[in-house]
Each structure stands twice: as structure tokens, then as C-alpha cells.
Chain A
Amino acid sequence: MQSTKNINEYILTRLIRISGYSAIIFVLMIFYFLLREGLPTIGEVSFVNLISIRWYPIEDYFGLLPLIGGSLIVTLGAAIFAIPIGVCTAVFIAEVAPRWVRDILKPLVEVLGGIPSVVLGFLGILILAPSLRRLLDLPTGLTALAGSILLGGIAIPTIVSVAEDALDSVPRSYRDAALALGATQWQTIWRVTLPAARSGVVTAIMLGIGRTIGETMAVMMVTGNAAVIPVRWNSLFLPVRTMTATIAAEMGEVAKNSTHYHVLFFIGLVLFLISLGINVAASTAVFKQSKRAERILS
């Protein structure tokens, strides 16, 4: 009887170990399938075509610049208001708000993170875009700006939640020391607490931006889907098309193994590598922070 128990335990331990490794396996599998379906692009489409300024797949124009530009401008627009609002909200929740307000606000912000992006896109079409059109007197409200506003709303919960954790983990003694030296609470926040939590706040911002680059549905629904390079000063007020939206909108209609199909996977590969870069950078920042915390404690 003892031995069957041992065998069971052995098998279970093995299974647990395998599931532990599964995350690595899945990342590699995703990478492999993107390469498998996306790499043929390099043989089928010339490099000059790929970096050209026309995305018109029906006539074999596969210029990625308009799509990359579209993703960039929408993300940039979102970052401009999501970062200050997100960080300030995190500071308010962590440092200023009384305990009970904080206990309400934190889950509430997480609720915003839980609203499906397709619902935000739906409201974007029905409410945000028409009001932007009227307010700014534009020919259409479905613009990069509308996308940026929605994406900002999607990035804020991530930024608030991660940045608040970082601020919260700054040792109490730091604040007490600053206050004891006669600093106001306001000065303590900006000169002591925030700098001490800097790497965590940077991680929060990076993860928030990462979410905006990868967001698909909301962006596809409100940005108007015009594949033009956003170079002029008023590009924020014109329709654009992002990389994610292009994949989502066109994958349903392409023939398997056509050039267009391969290029869409190639765009997916680019997105995968971007998120890989952001997350590896962000996670090394997290590791640095935990090391510092260990130093402080020891």
C-alpha cells in the first residue's frame, strides 16, 4: 500500500512539474507557429514592398509602415493621457485617500479593467465618435483620437493597479523619516515615495502601454480603418488603421497559405516580438525592484 501511494505521489509530482514548465512551452509554441506561418512572407514579398507606404493587399501592396504608424499614433495618443491620469490616480489611492476610500477604489478600477473591450468599442461607435465629430467639427468621428481615448481607458486600470502596488511596497519608515524632517505630505510623495517606487511605476507604465499596442477590438471598431501613414500634424483627427485591427479585419477573408495570409501572420510576429521586448524589459525592472527590497530588509 505504501508503494502505490509512492507511485501516485511520484506521478502527481511529475504532472505538477510539467504544468510548471507549461508556460515556457506555450510561449515557444506560439513563437513557432507565428514563424511557421509568417516567415514565408520574406520569400514572397520583397523588402522594398514591405517598407513601402501602401497597404493594398488586393493588388499585392504590403507596405507595413501605415499600419505601424497607425499603431504608434494611437498608442502615443493613449499614453499622453493614460500615464499622468493613471499615475496620479495610483498616488491618490496609495498615499492620499483614507483607508475606506481606498478599499472601494481599488476593486472599482479593476472593474474597469474587466469591461470587455468590445463593449467599449460599441460605446465608442455610438457615443464617443459622434460627440467627437460634433465637438471638433470633423468629417468623421472614427479617428485615431477616438481610438486613443478608448485605449487610454483600457491602459489606466493596468497602470493604476501595478503602480499602486509599487507605491504600497515602499517601506513606511521612508515616509516617516521625511515627515519627521519637516516635509509636507505632498513633498514626501514627490521627493521620497515616488522616486523610491520608480522602477515599479515604470513597469506599470510599460505594461499599460503594452496593453494598448496589443488591444484589438475597441481600436478596430473606432479608428475608421484607413491604412494611411499618419504624418501630418492633424493625423490624430483622421482615420487610421493599426496592426492588430488589420489582422482581425482581414484574416477572416484571406485564403489559407496565400501571400496575404502569410503577411498577416508576419504582422502577428512583429506584435509578438514587441510585446516580448516590453515584457522582458518590464520584468527585469520588477526583478531589480525585488532585489532592492531585499537589500532594504536585510
Chain B
Amino acid sequence: MDGQRKIFISPGSSDARLTRQKLGFGCLTLTTLVTVLPIFAVVIYILIKGLPAISWSFLTTFPFDGVKQGGIFPAIVGTFFLTLGTAIFSVPLGIGAAIYLSEYAPESRLTRIIRIAIINLAGIPSVVYGLFGLGMFVIFLKFGTSILAGSLTLSIMTLPVIISTAEEAIRAVPQSFRVVSISVGATRWQTIRRIVLPQSLPGIITGVILGLERAAGETAPILFTAASFFLPRLPNSPLDPTMALPYHLFVISTQVPGMPVKIQYGTALVLIVFVLGMNLIATTIRSRARAHRQW
């Protein structure tokens, strides 16, 4: 493609313009490096500083001595529970909404309002979600500071990501697939269930994981709805508060004087691996599905 473009610019003509272009492209490359290099720097730095802290006992024991020693096991388990709880609420709702928007929704004012509402949900500050969760789930519905309240708060926050990526995946299924299915006598729901959903599944899974990844790394929404500074045992029910990785990292890097740096980096590393691991799985599923797509 580049070769094709060069045909239009005869060699030797208007050198000044080409010099300017070269300079310009140089600047653009530079800004891109400014964007990209810090990503590597952050990830590699945390990897180097955090790896020495990682051991089997760090991952599987409780902290002690005012969290200054020991492991981060309850925080890992807590983040796992919160992510799971978020998935239970947000996945069916998000996929349902995506199906509605792509298969049922008419071109109407109401549909437009739904879309604006989704964009708004995506833009609401995470700490405002925390306030809402506190007002509605913790106080009004009397769930208390609990995994349930935190998961519900996180699911509403996650919803827009799941809806928009799942809708995109469902829309990508060619219209002809639906037409053929309906014309051989399937109902609309049968068409969705047997044809559309299986075809768009990889895209939907990608969207779900990307949404949950965001939920797993968030601190502000669980600050007043689920998180606890220290718990001597694992939560017994969804109505118990829990420790969580991002909140734990926040606490040990700001609230605990004399906290060993090693444990801080170790916790940051586990959190990053958790979140970026999910990201990696999601992108892998997406690119594989694109490569194997039949249409």
C-alpha cells in the first residue's frame, strides 16, 4: 500500500513538503513511544521488584502483625469472590441487553435513550458507583458491607462494557444466517439461541472478560460497599465483608506506616497478573475467533 502511494509523489519534487512530512512522522513516532514505553516500564518494573516477594506461602497464608508480614491469601480469595459475584449478575443481564439491542430493539427514541444511558453508565465515576452502592445496597436494602453489595455495585459498573462488546459481536453475525434460519421455520428465539449466539460466542466471552477485568481491578466502588482492611478468616457467606487485592494494595501503600516495600510490590504484581492475565485471555480468544471465522 505504501508503494502505491509513493507513485503519486514524483521523486525530487517539492522537497520541503517531504522534509516536513518526515519531521512530522518523526514527531508522531516520538509521541507514540511516549505512550507505549511507560506501559512496558510499569509492567517490567513491577515484575522485577515484585517477583522476589512471590512465594507459595505469600499466596496462601494470612497476613499478620498488622498486615506487615505474611501473605495475601484472603485478598486473593476476596477478589475472586467479588469477580465471581459480579459475573453472576452482570453476564446474564449484559448479554440479554445486547441481544435486545441487536435483535429486537426498534429504531426508536426509546432505543436511543437506552444507548445514551449505556454511554452514561460507562462514564459515571467509580467513586460515585461506590456512593450509590452504599446508599442502595448497604443501607437501603440492608445488605451491609458485604460481598453481595460490592458485587452488585461492580456489576452495574461492568454492564456497559459487556453490553457494548457483546452487541458488537452479535451484530457481526451476517444477516443471511438469520434469514435462512427463519425461512426453514425456526422462531426468532430459536434463531438467536441456535444460530446467532453460538456464532458470536467468542466475541461475547471477550467482552465479558474485559468487563470483569475492570471490576477486578477497581477499588473505589468497593471502598464503602464490600472491602475490609483485615479479616482473620475467609468470608463465610455473601453477606460477609471481604478483603480484596486492589483495596489491600491501597491500604498497605498509604495507611500502614513502616510497611515493607517488598510486600507492596508483591501485592501489586499479583494484582497486575490477575488483571492483565484476564486481558490476555480475552484478546487471545478474540484474535483466534477472527482467524477461524467462517464468514
A: which residues have CB within 8 A of B?
5, 8-9, 12-13, 15-24, 26-27, 29-30, 33-34, 36-37, 84-86, 88-89, 91-93, 96-98, 105, 107-112, 114-123, 125-127, 153, 156, 160, 179-180, 182, 184-187, 207, 210-211, 213-217, 221, 244, 247-248, 251-252, 256, 264-265, 268, 271-272, 275-276, 278-280, 282-283, 286-287
Contacts and interface: CB of A to CB of B under 8 A. Distances in A.
Contacts, number: 274
A88 B124 contact: no
A34 B131 contact: yes
A248 B128 contact: no
Interface string B41-60: 01101100000000000000
Contacts of A13: 104, 188-189
B290 to A, nearest CB: 11
Contacts of A96: 25, 28-29
B146 interface: no
B126 A116 contact: no
30 contacts: A9-B189, A12-B189, A19-B92, A21-B114, A29-B136, A33-B136, A34-B135, A88-B27, A92-B28, A96-B29, A105-B32, A109-B35, A109-B36, A111-B43, A114-B275, A116-B272, A116-B275, A117-B217, A118-B219, A122-B250, A123-B268, A180-B8, A186-B20, A186-B25, A210-B123, A216-B127, A251-B131, A272-B125, A279-B119, A279-B122
A24 B114 contact: yes
Contacts of B28: 88-89, 91-92, 96
Contacts of A265: 131, 135
B116 A16 contact: no
A33 B132 contact: yes
Interface of B: 2, 5, 8-9, 14, 17-18, 20-21, 24-25, 27-29, 31-32, 34-36, 38-39, 42-43, 45-46, 92-97, 99-101, 104-105, 112-132, 134-136, 139-140, 156, 159-160, 163, 187-189, 210, 213-214, 217-220, 223-224, 246-247, 249-250, 253-254, 261, 264, 268, 271-272, 275-276, 279, 283
